[in-house]
Amino acid sequence: MGRQYFGTDGIRGLTNAGVMTAAIAMKVGQAAGTYFLRGKHRHRVVIGKDTRLSGYMLENALVAGFTSVGMDVVLLGPLPTPAIALLTRELRADVGVMISASHNPYQDNGIKLFGPDGFKLSDDAELAIEAMLSQDLPLAPAAEIGRARRIEDARGRYIHAVKGSLPDDIRLDGLKIVVDCANGAAYQVAPSAIWELGAEVITVGVSPNGTNINDKCGSTSLGLVSETVVASGAHIGIALDGDADRLIVVDERGQTVDGDQLMALIGTQLADQGKLRGGGVVATVMSNLGLERYLQGRGLTLERTKVGDRHVLEKMKADGFNVGGEQSGHMILLDHATTGDGTIAALQVLAALVQSGKSASELLHLFDPVPQLLRNVRFSGGKPLDNARVQAVIAEAEAQLAGKGRLVIRPSGTEPVIRVMAEGDDAGQVESVVGAICDAVQEASA
């Protein structure tokens, strides 16, 4: 069955258009509420959001949907996605909802759903809910319509849980840290958690106005945090995205430390402590070959999945890993959270900085990434990857890179684009093979 609404991470799109309207949000509330009406207890959903203007509209629509089928609603306000996962479990809720389009601009929004265990829904659950969106669902009798309430201590609960991810003897005294919250969901909780652990905190991206989320700030736009670190003489900078499930770090020189380097640090530190499970780290096909070689040199493995943090999580759960993530900054640490949590990952990095006594530039650049190039090539129609000439060019590129690099080619799931990524020890060769494949795809679709 094809998907009309759910993508790789919930439902997402341009607000007031397509799948992201108030009417559809209300229907999602009715469908998800009906799906999770199990047992005879009073049913409950928790709803959080980031700082987008459209969050007000979608929040109210979801409340209408859930209450109309008899489910009580607990509103948490602006909080990171991992906080919603946590509080879904803590409040014994049947389902959790995060209203966010993550790192996208403010015009987009999305709906992410969590089960009562705090994990994102399975494909089967999403498909079942999607099928219900086209059905007339039974509404609750008048006396059984749900109630909605807002709780005021949600931020404090999450901050307490985040700090609990560190041993009691770890303090951040003496560290000057720049925290960039992307004008998003963590604008209150992330700086507070780090300050409460003793650090001097310099904040940027903490003045959301509904339309400035991810705008020239946060983990996808590092100029602001990098400049602030250097100008203030800070020891390190941490940058989150709009819903704070991603983390990118900059060292004291303003140099970027991506998710691959962070996985290398956290994975090897846990291995040294005898706490790493699974014998390695889980990442996607986009993680750099340098990470794989570094881990192999430490006797650890890098298990690769398709792109998307949900695929990483599925592999981690299936095979018993506790560290996984993406080059883009999703960091999943299953000892502490059920989904990516940028703030918890940041605290693990800060703790390592304290314990090592090293500067961030010394500690965080554990391997030299091999040259990597990603290009997107748009095509006009058909299936260019099935073209004989394209397949021949790809085969030739794979032969050239054999033993010296990798090639990853995948169609976009949302637009007519082929993504071509190559990496290897020879930067010129990498650029040559990517260019040849992109040219072949364009010719095949002309």
Distance, in Å, from the CA atom of 274 to the CA atom of 147, rounded to the nearest integer, reads 47
442 vs 380: CA distance, rounded Å: 9
H or E element in which residue 304 lies: strand 301-305
Q: Does residue 408 contact residue 357 with C-beta atoms inside 8 Å?
A: no
Out of 102, 221, 328, 445, the active site residue is: 102
Closest CA to 100 of 218, 3, 204: 218
Structure tokens at 324: 């996984």
Tokens of 222: 């590092």
How far is residue 56's CA from residue 188's CA, in Å, rounded to a whole number?
18
Beta strands in 208-330, from DSSP E residues, in sequence order: 236-240, 247-250, 256-257, 280-284, 301-305, 323-325
Q: Chain centroid to CA 41: how far?
A: 33
Residue 221 bears catalytic tag: no
d(CA 39, CA 265): 44
Burial 335-374 (b: 16+ CB within 10 A, else e): ebbbbbbbbbbbbbbbbbbbeeeeebeebbbbbebbbbbe
Residues 6+ apart with CB under 8 A from 38: 94
Show the tokens assigned to 255. 């140099």
Pairing relation of β-strands 200-204 and 176-180?
parallel
Angle between helices 189-196 and 154-163 (to 10 degrees): 50
Helix, strand, or coil (residue 430): helix
Strand-pair partners of 20: 15
CB atoms within 10 A of CB 113: 23
Residue 11 · residue 19 · CB < 8 Å: yes
Enter the tokens of residue 56: 């007000």
Provide the annotated active-site residues. 102
